[in-house]
């Protein structure tokens, strides 16, 4: 958990993400970042590490569009729609990298007795 972040860690995370996800407020989707990884990797890495290690994150990257998506045609009730958040790709990458790190240690911190079955 205390290991320093690496560019490879961010690359693997990005390329494991599904490319068909909707783009965030800046209109850049995952396909753009995957295709231009060779150009943008230093900037992505620097931005991610700056936030993860120093708590500094550019405010434009945490902006999220919240959208209602119809579950069926001609909805009459709010329950016929679902709310989705369209986050910035950099934000998604950071979230996944952190999740991957927590997955490694969580079995050591959470015991079977603490889980809830649904």
Would you state the structure tokens that stand for residue 85, as one six-digit string? 């958040």
Instruction: Compute the mean pLDDT over every residue in the chain, rounded to the nearest whole number.
Output: 83
How would you class 93 by CB atoms within 10 Å of its CB: exposed for 0-12, middle for 13-18, buried for 19 or more? buried
Q: What is the pTM of this model?
A: 0.72
Q: What is the pLDDT of residues 58-94, one digit of tens each?
A: 777 778 888 888 988 888 888 888 988 888 888 888 8
- Return the C-alpha torsion angle 104, 108, 114, 118, nearest 10: 30
Query: 3-state DSSP call for residue 25?
Result: coil
Question: At 105, which helix (H) or strand (E)?
Answer: helix 89-109
Please determine, for residue 38, whether its predicted confidence score (pLDDT) is greater than 90: yes
């Amino acid at each position: 958990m205390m290991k320093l972040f690496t560019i490879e860690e961010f690359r693997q995370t990005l390329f494991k993400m599904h490319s068909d996800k909707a783009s965030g407020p800046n209109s850049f989707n995952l396909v753009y970042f995957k295709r231009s990884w060779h150009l943008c990797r230093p900037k992505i890495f620097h931005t991610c590490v700056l936030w993860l290690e120093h708590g500094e994150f550019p405010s434009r990257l945490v902006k999220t569009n919240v959208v209602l998506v119809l579950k069926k045609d001609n909805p009459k009730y709010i329950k016929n729609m679902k709310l989705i958040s369209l986050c910035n790709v950099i934000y998604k990458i950071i979230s996944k990298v952190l999740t991957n790190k927590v997955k490694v240690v969580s079995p050591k911190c959470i015991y079977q007795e603490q889980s809830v079955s649904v």
